[in-house]
């Protein structure tokens, strides 16, 4: 997969995460007691995975060509974890 495609897909995933983080923050601020508890947990997970994915993207952008395969693989793994967290959030909200 071309590096630009990986970057574009990662940025789209980060944008999706931003929308879900905003929604979780709204649930945390305005939801019922149970919604607030769930939102707090979801928010922590989403932010952690989003931060890691963003860090991996920065690593990829700063990498030399020889490091690309390793960094790209880590980026894909982090992306998968974030996608799973986003799917879990969507199921519960």
Q: Rounded to whole angstroms, what are the CA distances from 1 to 7, 21, 43, 64, 84?
A: 10, 28, 31, 17, 21
On whether the CB atoms of residues 49 and 17 are closer than 8 A, the answer is yes
**pLDDT-derived band at 66, boundaries 50, 70, 90:** low
Give tens-digit pLDDT for 3-61. Answer: 888 889 999 999 999 999 999 899 889 988 988 898 899 899 999 999 999 998 998 88
The reported pLDDT for the residue numbered 89 is 84
Spans of all domains in the chain: 3-92
User: Per the structure block, which two tokens stand in for 51?
Assistant: 């931060």
């Amino acid at each position: 997969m071309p590096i630009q495609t990986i970057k574009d897909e990662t940025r789209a995933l980060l944008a999706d995460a931003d929308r879900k983080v905003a929604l979780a923050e709204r649930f945390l601020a305005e939801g019922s007691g149970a919604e607030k508890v769930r939102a707090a947990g979801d928010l922590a997970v989403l932010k952690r995975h989003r931060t890691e994915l963003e860090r991996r993207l920065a690593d990829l952008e700063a990498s030399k060509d020889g490091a690309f395969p390793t960094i790209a693989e880590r980026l894909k793994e982090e992306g998968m974890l974030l996608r799973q967290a986003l799917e879990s959030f969507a199921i519960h909200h």
